[in-house]
Structure 1
Protein backbone atom coordinates (compact mmCIF):
# COMPACT_ATOMS: atom_id res chain seq x y z
CA UNK A 1 0.00 0.00 0.00
CA UNK A 2 1.29 3.44 -0.89
CA UNK A 3 2.06 5.98 1.83
CA UNK A 4 -0.49 8.82 2.04
CA UNK A 5 0.36 11.80 4.28
CA UNK A 6 -2.43 12.96 6.58
CA UNK A 7 -0.83 15.64 8.80
CA UNK A 8 -0.26 19.16 7.47
CA UNK A 9 3.43 19.89 6.91
CA UNK A 10 4.49 16.23 7.20
CA UNK A 11 4.40 14.94 3.66
CA UNK A 12 7.07 12.19 3.66
CA UNK A 13 6.91 8.74 5.20
CA UNK A 14 10.14 9.54 7.06
CA UNK A 15 8.22 12.28 8.92
CA UNK A 16 6.19 9.67 10.83
CA UNK A 17 7.66 7.88 13.87
CA UNK A 18 5.90 4.80 15.29
CA UNK A 19 5.46 4.56 19.05
CA UNK A 20 4.52 1.42 20.97
CA UNK A 21 2.19 1.79 23.97
CA UNK A 22 1.36 -1.89 24.35
CA UNK A 23 1.12 -3.32 27.86
CA UNK A 24 4.32 -5.29 27.26
CA UNK A 25 6.25 -2.18 26.20
CA UNK A 26 4.96 -0.06 29.09
CA UNK A 27 6.05 -2.77 31.56
CA UNK A 28 9.55 -2.69 30.04
CA UNK A 29 9.57 1.10 30.42
CA UNK A 30 8.26 0.75 34.00
CA UNK A 31 5.30 2.98 33.16
CA UNK A 32 1.94 2.55 34.84
CA UNK A 33 -0.68 3.16 32.14
CA UNK A 34 -3.29 4.19 34.70
CA UNK A 35 -0.99 7.01 35.88
CA UNK A 36 -2.06 9.35 33.07
CA UNK A 37 0.38 12.07 34.11
CA UNK A 38 3.34 9.63 33.88
CA UNK A 39 2.19 8.46 30.47
CA UNK A 40 1.82 12.08 29.30
CA UNK A 41 5.35 12.85 30.56
CA UNK A 42 6.67 9.92 28.52
CA UNK A 43 4.79 11.05 25.40
CA UNK A 44 6.02 14.63 25.84
CA UNK A 45 9.62 13.32 26.09
CA UNK A 46 9.11 11.28 22.90
CA UNK A 47 7.66 14.31 21.11
CA UNK A 48 10.77 16.31 22.03
CA UNK A 49 13.06 13.46 20.97
CA UNK A 50 11.31 13.18 17.58
CA UNK A 51 10.29 16.86 17.32
CA UNK A 52 10.45 16.92 13.53
CA UNK A 53 8.23 13.87 13.21
CA UNK A 54 4.67 12.82 13.95
CA UNK A 55 4.31 10.09 16.59
CA UNK A 56 1.74 7.48 15.67
CA UNK A 57 0.69 4.04 16.76
CA UNK A 58 -1.86 1.89 18.41
CA UNK A 59 -3.49 -0.26 15.77
CA UNK A 60 -3.96 -3.84 17.10
CA UNK A 61 -1.77 -3.15 20.14
CA UNK A 62 -2.79 -4.82 23.37
CA UNK A 63 -2.64 -1.88 25.75
CA UNK A 64 -3.45 -1.84 29.43
CA UNK A 65 -4.63 1.77 29.23
CA UNK A 66 -8.21 0.63 29.77
CA UNK A 67 -7.62 -1.68 32.76
CA UNK A 68 -9.89 -0.84 35.66
CA UNK A 69 -12.08 1.48 33.59
CA UNK A 70 -15.75 0.46 33.58
CA UNK A 71 -16.20 2.16 30.19
CA UNK A 72 -14.22 -0.65 28.55
CA UNK A 73 -15.32 -3.73 30.47
CA UNK A 74 -19.09 -4.01 30.06
CA UNK A 75 -19.31 -7.67 28.99
CA UNK A 76 -15.61 -8.46 28.75
CA UNK A 77 -12.40 -6.53 29.10
CA UNK A 78 -11.38 -4.64 26.00
CA UNK A 79 -7.71 -5.19 25.27
CA UNK A 80 -7.12 -4.54 21.56
CA UNK A 81 -6.75 -1.02 20.19
CA UNK A 82 -8.74 -0.67 16.96
CA UNK A 83 -7.59 2.77 15.86
CA UNK A 84 -4.43 4.65 14.99
CA UNK A 85 -3.42 7.56 17.20
CA UNK A 86 -1.37 10.55 16.03
CA UNK A 87 0.26 13.04 18.41
CA UNK A 88 0.70 16.67 17.40
CA UNK A 89 -0.21 20.09 18.78
CA UNK A 90 -3.84 21.14 18.78
CA UNK A 91 -4.72 23.07 15.65
CA UNK A 92 -2.42 21.11 13.33
CA UNK A 93 -4.16 20.50 10.01
CA UNK A 94 -5.28 17.01 9.06
CA UNK A 95 -5.74 15.78 5.49
CA UNK A 96 -8.36 13.24 4.57
CA UNK A 97 -6.90 10.72 2.08
CA UNK A 98 -10.32 9.97 0.55
CA UNK A 99 -13.49 11.97 0.01
CA UNK A 100 -15.38 11.75 3.28
CA UNK A 101 -17.87 13.40 5.57
CA UNK A 102 -17.73 13.73 9.37
CA UNK A 103 -20.93 12.15 10.63
CA UNK A 104 -20.42 12.33 14.39
CA UNK A 105 -18.01 14.22 16.64
CA UNK A 106 -17.83 14.01 20.44
CA UNK A 107 -15.84 15.44 23.31
CA UNK A 108 -15.28 12.49 25.63
CA UNK A 109 -13.67 14.36 28.48
CA UNK A 110 -14.10 11.68 31.17
CA UNK A 111 -10.80 10.33 32.50
CA UNK A 112 -9.79 7.23 30.52
CA UNK A 113 -12.20 7.89 27.70
CA UNK A 114 -11.22 8.73 24.14
CA UNK A 115 -10.66 12.45 24.65
CA UNK A 116 -11.62 15.26 22.34
CA UNK A 117 -12.31 14.46 18.69
Structure 2
Protein backbone atom coordinates (compact mmCIF):
# COMPACT_ATOMS: atom_id res chain seq x y z
CA UNK A 1 0.00 0.00 0.00
CA UNK A 2 1.33 3.44 -0.89
CA UNK A 3 2.33 5.60 2.07
CA UNK A 4 0.74 9.06 1.86
CA UNK A 5 2.36 12.31 2.96
CA UNK A 6 -0.29 12.50 5.69
CA UNK A 7 0.77 9.12 7.08
CA UNK A 8 4.41 10.19 7.06
CA UNK A 9 3.42 13.41 8.85
CA UNK A 10 1.58 11.48 11.59
CA UNK A 11 4.71 9.46 12.31
CA UNK A 12 6.69 12.66 12.98
CA UNK A 13 4.30 13.98 15.64
CA UNK A 14 5.07 13.69 19.33
CA UNK A 15 1.73 12.84 20.88
CA UNK A 16 0.60 12.66 24.49
CA UNK A 17 -0.70 9.19 25.49
CA UNK A 18 -4.49 8.96 25.28
CA UNK A 19 -4.35 6.83 28.45
CA UNK A 20 -2.09 7.60 31.45
CA UNK A 21 1.56 7.11 30.56
CA UNK A 22 2.18 4.75 33.49
CA UNK A 23 -0.35 2.36 31.95
CA UNK A 24 0.38 2.93 28.28
CA UNK A 25 4.12 2.22 28.44
CA UNK A 26 5.40 -1.26 29.21
CA UNK A 27 2.15 -2.74 30.51
CA UNK A 28 0.14 -3.15 27.32
CA UNK A 29 -0.29 -6.09 24.99
CA UNK A 30 -1.67 -6.44 21.48
CA UNK A 31 -5.00 -8.26 21.17
CA UNK A 32 -6.42 -10.13 18.16
CA UNK A 33 -10.22 -10.10 17.91
CA UNK A 34 -10.31 -11.07 14.25
CA UNK A 35 -12.18 -13.99 12.71
CA UNK A 36 -8.78 -15.70 12.36
CA UNK A 37 -8.41 -16.00 16.15
CA UNK A 38 -9.53 -19.59 16.77
CA UNK A 39 -9.76 -19.02 20.54
CA UNK A 40 -12.81 -16.82 19.94
CA UNK A 41 -14.75 -19.82 18.61
CA UNK A 42 -15.10 -20.83 22.26
CA UNK A 43 -16.38 -17.38 23.30
CA UNK A 44 -19.89 -15.97 22.91
CA UNK A 45 -18.73 -12.66 21.40
CA UNK A 46 -22.36 -11.49 21.28
CA UNK A 47 -22.23 -11.21 25.08
CA UNK A 48 -20.30 -8.20 26.37
CA UNK A 49 -19.76 -10.05 29.67
CA UNK A 50 -18.29 -13.13 28.00
CA UNK A 51 -16.08 -11.07 25.70
CA UNK A 52 -14.94 -8.96 28.65
CA UNK A 53 -14.01 -12.09 30.60
CA UNK A 54 -11.93 -13.31 27.65
CA UNK A 55 -10.14 -9.96 27.23
CA UNK A 56 -9.46 -9.48 30.94
CA UNK A 57 -8.13 -13.04 31.26
CA UNK A 58 -5.90 -12.48 28.23
CA UNK A 59 -4.47 -9.34 29.83
CA UNK A 60 -3.90 -11.16 33.12
CA UNK A 61 -2.03 -13.95 31.35
CA UNK A 62 0.21 -11.34 29.72
CA UNK A 63 0.70 -9.23 32.88
CA UNK A 64 -0.88 -6.27 31.08
CA UNK A 65 -3.15 -3.48 32.25
CA UNK A 66 -4.20 -2.53 28.74
CA UNK A 67 -4.81 -4.43 25.50
CA UNK A 68 -4.86 -2.75 22.12
CA UNK A 69 -5.35 -3.55 18.46
CA UNK A 70 -7.97 -4.01 15.81
CA UNK A 71 -6.92 -1.78 12.92
CA UNK A 72 -8.16 -3.41 9.68
CA UNK A 73 -9.28 -6.52 11.59
CA UNK A 74 -12.18 -8.44 10.09
CA UNK A 75 -14.35 -9.25 13.09
CA UNK A 76 -17.30 -11.51 13.80
CA UNK A 77 -18.57 -9.46 16.73
CA UNK A 78 -20.59 -7.12 14.52
CA UNK A 79 -22.86 -9.90 13.26
CA UNK A 80 -24.93 -9.53 16.44
CA UNK A 81 -26.20 -6.10 15.36
CA UNK A 82 -28.48 -5.11 12.48
CA UNK A 83 -26.63 -1.79 12.45
CA UNK A 84 -23.65 -3.51 10.79
CA UNK A 85 -25.05 -6.75 9.39
CA UNK A 86 -26.06 -6.92 5.72
CA UNK A 87 -27.39 -9.79 3.63
CA UNK A 88 -24.85 -8.93 0.93
CA UNK A 89 -21.39 -10.04 2.14
CA UNK A 90 -19.66 -7.31 0.11
CA UNK A 91 -21.60 -4.58 1.91
CA UNK A 92 -21.51 -6.17 5.37
CA UNK A 93 -19.52 -3.86 7.63
CA UNK A 94 -17.07 -6.01 9.58
CA UNK A 95 -13.59 -4.50 9.02
CA UNK A 96 -12.51 -2.31 11.93
CA UNK A 97 -10.82 0.96 10.87
CA UNK A 98 -9.90 2.39 14.27
CA UNK A 99 -7.69 1.25 17.14
CA UNK A 100 -9.27 -0.19 20.29
CA UNK A 101 -7.71 0.25 23.72
CA UNK A 102 -9.27 -2.16 26.23
CA UNK A 103 -9.11 -1.09 29.87
CA UNK A 104 -11.46 -0.57 32.81
CA UNK A 105 -14.48 1.72 32.75
CA UNK A 106 -13.98 5.29 34.04
CA UNK A 107 -10.35 5.34 32.85
CA UNK A 108 -9.35 8.91 31.99
CA UNK A 109 -8.84 9.78 28.32
CA UNK A 110 -6.44 12.53 27.24
CA UNK A 111 -6.06 14.48 24.01
CA UNK A 112 -2.90 13.37 22.18
CA UNK A 113 -2.61 16.72 20.38
CA UNK A 114 -3.83 20.28 20.68
CA UNK A 115 -7.10 20.98 18.91
CA UNK A 116 -10.70 22.10 19.25
CA UNK A 117 -13.97 20.29 19.89
CA UNK A 118 -15.46 19.60 16.47
CA UNK A 119 -18.60 17.75 17.64
CA UNK A 120 -20.01 15.25 20.12
CA UNK A 121 -23.01 12.92 20.27
CA UNK A 122 -24.49 9.90 22.00
CA UNK A 123 -24.72 7.27 19.25
CA UNK A 124 -27.29 4.91 20.73
CA UNK A 125 -27.68 2.20 18.08
CA UNK A 126 -27.03 -1.29 19.44
CA UNK A 127 -23.33 -1.98 18.90
CA UNK A 128 -22.59 1.69 18.13
CA UNK A 129 -20.14 4.09 19.85
CA UNK A 130 -22.38 5.39 22.59
CA UNK A 131 -21.05 8.79 23.79
CA UNK A 132 -18.51 10.11 21.29
CA UNK A 133 -16.23 13.15 20.96
CA UNK A 134 -14.49 14.32 17.80
CA UNK A 135 -11.56 16.77 17.96
CA UNK A 136 -10.30 18.91 15.08
CA UNK A 137 -6.56 19.46 14.64
CA UNK A 138 -4.67 21.93 12.46
CA UNK A 139 -0.92 21.29 12.54
CA UNK A 140 1.40 22.68 9.88
CA UNK A 141 -0.42 22.30 6.56
CA UNK A 142 -2.56 19.37 7.72
CA UNK A 143 -6.13 19.56 9.01
CA UNK A 144 -7.55 16.34 10.41
CA UNK A 145 -9.74 14.87 13.15
CA UNK A 146 -9.54 12.33 15.97
CA UNK A 147 -12.55 10.37 17.23
CA UNK A 148 -13.05 8.97 20.74
CA UNK A 149 -15.88 6.45 21.09
CA UNK A 150 -17.45 4.38 23.92
CA UNK A 151 -17.17 7.15 26.52
CA UNK A 152 -19.22 7.83 29.65
CA UNK A 153 -22.37 9.94 29.43
CA UNK A 154 -20.75 12.55 31.68
CA UNK A 155 -17.99 12.99 29.10
CA UNK A 156 -20.30 14.75 26.65
CA UNK A 157 -22.00 17.01 29.18
CA UNK A 158 -21.17 20.72 29.21
CA UNK A 159 -19.08 20.56 26.04
CA UNK A 160 -18.95 23.44 23.57
CA UNK A 161 -18.18 23.12 19.88
CA UNK A 162 -15.08 25.13 19.00
CA UNK A 163 -13.66 25.07 22.54
CA UNK A 164 -9.88 24.73 22.61
CA UNK A 165 -8.30 21.53 23.89
CA UNK A 166 -4.67 21.45 25.03
CA UNK A 167 -2.32 18.58 24.30
CA UNK A 168 -2.48 16.21 27.27
CA UNK A 169 -5.75 17.64 28.59
CA UNK A 170 -8.27 15.15 29.96
CA UNK A 171 -11.28 15.14 27.65
CA UNK A 172 -13.31 12.13 28.81
CA UNK A 173 -13.68 8.90 30.77
CA UNK A 174 -14.56 5.49 29.44
CA UNK A 175 -18.12 4.25 29.71
CA UNK A 176 -19.59 0.93 30.85
CA UNK A 177 -21.36 -1.60 28.64
CA UNK A 178 -24.69 -0.07 29.66
CA UNK A 179 -23.93 3.15 27.76
CA UNK A 180 -21.11 2.32 25.32
CA UNK A 181 -23.03 0.26 22.76
CA UNK A 182 -22.85 -2.95 24.86
CA UNK A 183 -19.13 -3.66 24.69
CA UNK A 184 -16.50 -4.38 27.33
CA UNK A 185 -15.04 -1.01 28.38
CA UNK A 186 -12.61 0.34 25.81
CA UNK A 187 -11.69 3.39 23.77
CA UNK A 188 -12.23 3.38 20.03
CA UNK A 189 -9.65 5.84 18.71
CA UNK A 190 -9.67 6.82 15.05
CA UNK A 191 -7.88 9.33 12.84
CA UNK A 192 -9.97 10.93 10.09
CA UNK A 193 -8.50 13.08 7.33
CA UNK A 194 -11.76 14.20 5.69
CA UNK A 195 -14.72 14.06 8.03
CA UNK A 196 -17.19 14.93 5.25
CA UNK A 197 -20.50 16.08 6.76
CA UNK A 198 -20.39 13.93 9.90
CA UNK A 199 -20.86 15.41 13.36
CA UNK A 200 -20.34 13.41 16.55
CA UNK A 201 -20.09 10.25 14.49
CA UNK A 202 -18.07 8.66 11.69
CA UNK A 203 -17.97 5.06 10.42
CA UNK A 204 -15.58 2.97 12.48
CA UNK A 205 -16.23 -0.26 10.59
CA UNK A 206 -16.02 -0.70 6.81
CA UNK A 207 -17.18 -3.20 4.23
CA UNK A 208 -14.95 -4.65 1.51
CA UNK A 209 -16.32 -2.29 -1.15
CA UNK A 210 -15.29 0.91 0.65
CA UNK A 211 -12.14 -0.36 2.34
CA UNK A 212 -9.57 1.29 0.04
CA UNK A 213 -11.15 4.71 0.66
CA UNK A 214 -11.09 4.24 4.43
CA UNK A 215 -7.49 3.01 4.44
CA UNK A 216 -6.47 6.40 3.03
CA UNK A 217 -8.96 8.53 4.95
CA UNK A 218 -8.45 6.74 8.28
CA UNK A 219 -4.78 5.69 8.53
CA UNK A 220 -3.44 3.42 11.27
CA UNK A 221 -3.91 5.28 14.60
CA UNK A 222 -0.76 3.68 15.94
CA UNK A 223 1.26 5.89 13.59
CA UNK A 224 0.34 8.60 16.10
CA UNK A 225 -0.02 6.69 19.40
CA UNK A 226 3.10 4.50 18.93
CA UNK A 227 2.00 1.90 21.48
CA UNK A 228 4.66 -0.68 22.40
CA UNK A 229 7.34 1.37 20.66
TM-score, normalised with respect to structure 1: 0.74
Higher RCO (CA < 8 A, seq sep 6+): 1
CA distance 1:71–1:50, change in 2 (3 Å) = same
CA distance 1:112–1:48, change in 2 (3 Å) = same
The reply to whether residue 102 of structure 1 matches residue 113 of structure 2 is no
**CA shift at 1:84, angstroms?**
0.7
Taking the TM superposition and a 5 Å limit, the aligned residue runs for 1:33-112 are 33-50=45-62, 52-73=64-85, 76-112=91-127
Pair member with larger Rg = 2
Q: CA RMSD in A?
A: 2.7
What CA distance in whole angstroms lies between the structure 2 residues aligned with 1:36 and 1:92?
Answer: 18
Cα pair 2:66 2:101 within 8 Å, conserved: yes
Name structure 2 gaps, 5 residues minimum: 1-10, 131-149, 152-229
- Partner residue of 2:227? none
What CA distance in whole angstroms lies between the structure 1 residues aligned with 2:114 and 2:31?
Answer: 28
TM-score, normalised with respect to structure 2: 0.42
What CA distance in whole angstroms lies between the structure 1 residues aligned with 2:62 and 2:123?
Answer: 28
Structure with higher strand content:
2
Name structure 1 gaps, 5 residues minimum: none
What CA distance in whole angstroms lies between the structure 1 residues aligned with 2:77 and 2:51?
Answer: 10
Between 1:82-91 and 1:95-104, the stretch displaced more is 95-104
CA distance 1:16–1:101, change in 2 (3 Å) = farther
What CA distance in whole angstroms lies between the structure 2 residues aligned with 1:85 and 1:110?
Answer: 19
**Structure 1 residue ranges (4+ consecutive) displaced by more than 6 angstroms after TM superposition:** none
